[in-house]
Amino acid sequence: MDLVVLIALTCFVFYRLWSILGTKTGIERKRTLILDDADNVIVMTKKQQIQENPDALHEEEFELTEHQNRLVTEIVKNDPDFDPVYFLKGAEAAYSMITKAFANGNKKRLKVLLSDKMYQLFSYAIIAREKDNLRIETKIESFEIVEIDAAKVIENNGEKIASITVFFKTKQIVVTYNQNDEIVENEAKTSVLRQDYWTFERAFNAASLQWTLVNTKTR
């Protein structure tokens, strides 16, 4: 397959996975999502997942507490097809995609996943980095915690919007290089623990099922 076509197909698959984040309609009801370090996406049923790779992403890793289930009660009332477990899997994938896109300076991908305000902030940071002739490499070593921290239904000009804040605790290696490919920060390539709160939103009556990142906060 032509490389350009393959890249375009991969990007489309990413977009579709994010656009169905948190839904369980049709065939998506049976699907789970795995994202590897090479950005390969495998979508398969849970039954297939267990048969083909027993050590793959387990359902219990995303088992919701009673508190988290209570948090999404209002969202489920407005959207009975909302699946919080599937949402968290999609949120983890989105975290990986956005983190990698930012590190690579891929503003085109960020434009799809971020609100206008967040896109401006990310773009300014990328432009500033490029002006300084710097580039970064980011590797997410592990997701220690991915859980719903807050959820609510808000109204804006008569439109109901689902708003969910997810807490991510990750181990990452971030290395900064200069224009000569010399490491100028984190030469030892040590991992750091990050604790982030990302808020995603989607209007219930929107034609698209896509969720958008509208806010980030670091603990």
CATH for 66: 3.10.450.240
pLDDT of the residue at 49 = 42
Which band of pLDDT confidence, cut at 50, 70 and 90, is reported for residue 27? very low
pLDDT of the residue at 3 = 46
The string of pLDDT tens digits covering residues 87-114 is 898 899 999 999 999 999 999 999 989 9
H/E element, 116: helix 116-131
Supply 30's token pair.
Answer: 């049976």
pLDDT of the residue at 23 = 53
- Is the pLDDT at 74 greater than 50? The verdict is yes
pLDDT of the residue at 159 = 93
Q: Give residue 133's domain range.
A: 3-218
CA distance 144 to 29: 26
167 contacts: CB under 8 Å, gap ≥ 6: 145, 146, 147, 148, 149, 195, 196, 197
The string of pLDDT tens digits covering residues 140-184 is 999 999 999 999 999 998 899 999 999 999 999 999 999 999 999
- Is the pLDDT at 10 greater than 50? The verdict is no
Residue 145: which of 60, 35, 61 has the closest Cα?
A: 61
pLDDT of the residue at 215 = 97
* Of 58 and 151, more confident: 151
130 contacts: CB under 8 Å, gap ≥ 6: 105
CB 200 within 8 A of CB 114: no
Which band of pLDDT confidence, cut at 50, 70 and 90, is reported for residue 115? very high
- Across the chain, mean pLDDT equals 80
Write the CA distances from 161 to 29, 74, 75, 78, 164, integer angstroms. Answer: 22, 11, 9, 10, 10
What's the average model confidence in pLDDT over 201-219?
89
Supply 113's token pair.
Answer: 């996943």
Q: What sign does the CA torsion over 1, 16, 54, 168 have?
A: positive
Residue 111 neighbours by CB distance under 10 Å? 13
Residue 107: which of 90, 95, 91, 124 has the closest Cα?
A: 124
Alpha helices in 53-115 (DSSP H): 66-71, 73-78, 84-104, 107-113
| 8-state DSSP, 72 | T
CB 189 within 8 A of CB 173: yes
What's the average model confidence in pLDDT over 193-204?
96
CB 147 within 8 A of CB 197: no
- Mean pLDDT check: name the lowest of 10-19, 93-102, 152-161, 203-212: 10-19
Quote the number of domains for the chain. Answer: 1
pLDDT of the residue at 1 = 53
- Is the pLDDT at 28 greater than 90? The verdict is no
pTM for the whole structure: 0.75
pLDDT of the residue at 20 = 45
